[in-house]
Chains A and B, each alone.
Chain A
Amino acid sequence: MRFMMIVKASTDSETGVMPSQEMIDAMMRYNEELVKSGVLIAGEGLHPSSNAIRISYPVPGGKPKVTDGPFAETKELIAGFWIIQVKSREEAIEWAMRAPDPHGGGQGQIELRQIFETEELTDNPESIAQENALRAQLEKQQQKQ
């Protein structure tokens, strides 16, 4: 399963204050560990929202509204993300716990969101039923041995 680890924005990330060298080094080490462990699929840092454009649909069926950044609600914004491929929800949490505090100053926040997978691949009811039948048959054979 895939998770997106979202780094929430902070006052610093929104005002374009560059992170300390120490923070950059810690992030590099963390990224390297994700790569070496074969779990990192993608990861990017984002420009502050002063550079952003928001498209909203205030009137259903009407023309979308285009608003230029910056946006005020810092805590709701995101500053970057990683996408990781893991075996379980717990593994995703374990990786997220190993990330450095992304901002310091008490504002750091990482949010884990699971990415939708195509249902047919994993839990198609018909395939699962067939698979279970096969497994039961296998166990029966095993008991006979």
Chain B
Amino acid sequence: MTSDIHRAVDAVWRIESARIIAGLTRMVRDVGLAEELAQDALVEALERWPSAGIPDNPGAWLMATAKRRAIDRFRRLKVLERKYDELGRELESQVEPEYDDQISDDLLRLIFTACHPVLSPEARVSLTLRLLGGLTTDEIARAFLVPEPTVAQRIVRAKRTLSAAQVPFEVPEGAELTGRLTSVLEVIYLIFNEGYSATAGSLWLRPDLCQDALRLGRILAELAPGEPEVHGLVALMELQASRLRARVDPKGAPILLPDQNRALWDHLLIRRGLAALARARRLGQALGPYCLQAAIAACHARARTAAETDWSSIAALYDALAQLTQSPVVELNRAVALSMAFGPAVGLELIDLLTKEPALREYHLLPSVRGDLLEKLGRLGEARAEYERAATLARNERERDLLRQKAARC
């Protein structure tokens, strides 16, 4: 019975925690303190709800409890400092907002705070999952295969950094918005990608992380509906997630796009992805990097068989993306698309230029793609060497196995 309640409280927490922490941060002006107060309220819920039952509106109960604790704390502190006295009185006079624009504004502010550039990328990821995703430190540690104390420390330090830097609880405006939004989108996509092709460990996929990232993205799309790149990112994640089931064989080994059984693709997610991309396009701005990547994913999603893929459109989209990002990894993908559209020799020409690129020196996909093109051109000895080099560079065990198999068949 107690564990039933415990799990029910967990579920309430998952749904409500971000809104509660966001509302409290606005009131107490410190995200670390806000989270502490929300946690205190959760502990109180775990003590009371087993006997009293779960209240009709558990979110409001948690919020009221946390707020009362904030007032108590400020009363105790007011003898020490005048500003706490003011804060305490302000809190008491504040009327609770309904689920409305105020809560949406607070949530958006919380996202921008958790993804603030003063924090390291790892800290942004941990704090976002913790504050917005409602994950426990242990869940975050498991997802990223790092010890729990490391994550706990990251979060404590991140909160301290935000406090010390006096990061205001606000949504950035004007010129600042673009850069700050980029950071938010990066954090969400980083979480998704860690789930989609885990960089370390024996599992190629961590679907739970993909789901966490998707949920964050979908929430953000409702909070900032006028930002095409937000919809672009959501579209990209929905379309990539639609292939999750087709991406591993029964033994957990990866299956790459051309070999996937398209009947296993999740057509509900494809529909959602295409709708999100259409939503981005309706905003009428030039397509940014996430929209372009989503448009590429959409070309794959629309092809009923691998042979039907519109590779020349994909090559054109990669060209646009390469101009925006100047990224050698994008150039590598463009080379793949060109080889599919116009033959392996065309792709190889571009790849050979990329082998001089210092940023790709340790990147396993460069020799992997080069090996593939050489194999198609019948240059098997060279292909084998490239596959073997790729295998030594790959960090994921499953991927390494696949590359060794390819080397063996040349």
Contacts and interface: CB of A to CB of B under 8 A. Distances in A.
Interface of A: 33, 35-39, 41-42, 83, 85-91, 93-95, 118, 120-122, 124, 126-127, 130-131, 134-135, 138-139, 141-142
A91 B268 contact: no
A138 B203 contact: no
B272 A41 contact: yes
B245 interface: yes
Interface of B: 7-8, 10-12, 14-15, 99, 104, 142, 145-147, 149, 201-203, 205, 207, 211, 214-219, 222, 244-245, 248-252, 264, 268-269, 272
Given A90-B11, A130-B202, 15 more contacts: A41-B269, A41-B272, A42-B268, A87-B14, A88-B10, A90-B10, A91-B11, A93-B11, A94-B12, A121-B245, A124-B250, A131-B202, A134-B202, A135-B145, A142-B149
Q: Which applies to chain A's interface (DSSP): helix, strand, loop or mixed?
A: helix
A141 B147 contact: yes
Nearest to A94: B11
Contact of B104 (A36, A95, A134): A36
B245 A88 contact: no
A62 to B, nearest CB: 28
7 contacts: A33-B99, A36-B222, A37-B15, A88-B7, A91-B15, A124-B252, A141-B147
Contact of B8 (A93, A126, A139): A93
Contact of B14 (A91, A118, A139): A91
Contact of A38 (B146, B214, B264): B214
A121 B205 contact: yes
A81 to B, nearest CB: 12
A3 to B, nearest CB: 12
A19 to B, nearest CB: 22
Given A120-B250, A120-B252, A134 B99 contact: no
- Closest 9 pairs (CB-CB, A-B): A38-B218, A90-B11, A38-B215, A91-B11, A130-B202, A38-B219, A118-B245, A127-B252, A142-B147
Contacts of A85: 211, 214-215
DSSP class of B's interface residues: helix, strand, loop or mixed? helix
Contacts of A134: 145, 201-202
Nearest to A85: B211
Nearest to A121: B207
B129 to A, nearest CB: 12
A84 to B, nearest CB: 11
Contacts of A37: 15, 215, 219
B215 A127 contact: no
Contacts of B202: 127, 130-131, 134
Contacts of A83: 268
Nearest to B207: A121
A122 B216 CA distance: 21
Nearest to A33: B99
B211 A36 contact: no
Given A90-B8, A91-B14, A36 B215 contact: no
A85 B268 CA distance: 12
A127 B203 contact: yes
Nearest to A90: B11
Contacts of A41: 268-269, 272
Contacts of B218: 35, 38
A83 B269 CA distance: 12
B203 A131 contact: yes
A88 B205 CA distance: 19
A135 B143 CA distance: 11
A85 B249 CA distance: 23
